[in-house]
Amino acid sequence: MTEPAIVLGPNQYGKAEVRVVKVTRETARHEIEDLNVTSQLRGDFDRAHLAGDNSHVIATDTQKNTVFAFARGGIGSPEAFLLRLAEHFTSEFDWVSGGRWEAESFAWDRIEVQGAAHDHSFVRSGRETRTAVVVADGAARHVIGGLKGLTVLKTTESGFEGFPRDQYTTLAETSDRVLATDVAARWLYARREGEGEGEGEGEGEGEGEGDGDGGPDYDASYERVRALLLEAFAQRHSPALQATLFEMGSRVLEECPEIAEIRFSMPNKHHFVVDLTPFGLDNPNEVFYAADRPYGLIEAAVTREGVVSPAAAWEGIAGFC
């Protein structure tokens, strides 16, 4: 018997975590945009791996410089910025058939001086980090918005009861507990009308960038999704983090027709009631030990019935089912 041939499998490469800060100085009141951008190209790179032929290898340094050059013209929403990068690399180089571009967007708030927001001094926001991904797969463009580190907590209207017990179960049932989590969510934008006829939901021709070309207003959509996630977390009793996750995702899909599906990765940040009886004190659910590990980790996708999720959009996104 002959041994099977060794062949090159799927591959991509690029420049990771390009930190770019853009200051707009058109007036005395400056604006600041702060991104962490990763560019990864896919296409005909076989000879670079198999023969050491770099004729198709666009230097990762070139990809970094492209990010900086494109920022000079303004960034806008991270989704639109990544779409511009995707269009550039797939149209400029014939052998680049697609790729994956990702960004983290960091918020800055204006420093207040005597009750007024300062024109050019900022403090890093304590909010969550906004995320974005654009995947180019041939003519299709998959746009994924998201956030991570959205830390939320409710002090009541949460419990955990009715779970199975065996010889290893020590957890007591409770109808009133602290529920806390760090929400990481990613949502896939649906394709626009007339794009990619015959293609799956979330696929498009990639001719536009959104934000002004008839596509989604990504900034407005982000703020809307964030608000809906917070409202859904707060408003209903939580029998378990799984039920709360589904409620949050359902609220987004009900209110945002531009979104095809949303996926979550949410740790259960356990808060345990401290036993104060050794000190002669009671503890009516007021003093807790916040444990950072181990923790429950709840992950799920919330989708629209009958809508097929494009697998290419989610490849390479770790931690999301």
Query: Cβ(14)–Cβ(41) under 8 Å?
Result: yes
Ligand-binding site membership of 61 (annotated): yes
Ligand-binding site membership of 236 (annotated): no
Query: Cβ(181)–Cβ(269) under 8 Å?
Result: yes
Catalytic residue among 15, 64, 142, 271, which? 15
148 is catalytic: no
Cα 56 to Cα 24, 41, 48, 96: the distances in Å are 35, 11, 7, 9
Ligand-binding site membership of 63 (annotated): no
Q: How many CA atoms lie within 13 A of 41 on its CB side?
A: 27
270 is catalytic: yes
Centre a 10 Å sphere on the Cβ of residue 53 and count the other Cβ atoms it contains. Answer: 12
Catalytic residue among 22, 64, 142, 270, which? 270
Ligand-binding site membership of 268 (annotated): yes
60 is catalytic: yes
Q: What gap in Å lies between CA 32 and CA 201, rounded to an integer? A: 34
Ligand-binding site membership of 177 (annotated): yes
DSSP 8-state symbol, 212: S
How would DSSP label each residue in 145-211? EEEEEEEEEESSSB-B------TT--PPPBSS--EEEEEEEEEEEPPPTTSSTTPPTT-------SS
Find the length of the chain: 321
Assign residue 246 a region: left if phi > 0, alpha if psi is -120 to 50, beta otherwise?
A: alpha
Catalytic residue among 30, 56, 60, 118, which? 60
Please give the annotated binding residues for 5-hydroxyisourate, written as ranges.
60-61, 242, 268
Residues annotated as part of the active site: 15, 60, 270
Please give the annotated binding residues for O2, written as ranges.
60, 268
Please give the annotated binding residues, written as ranges.
60-61, 160, 177, 242, 268
Please give the annotated binding residues for urate, written as ranges.
60-61, 160, 177, 242, 268
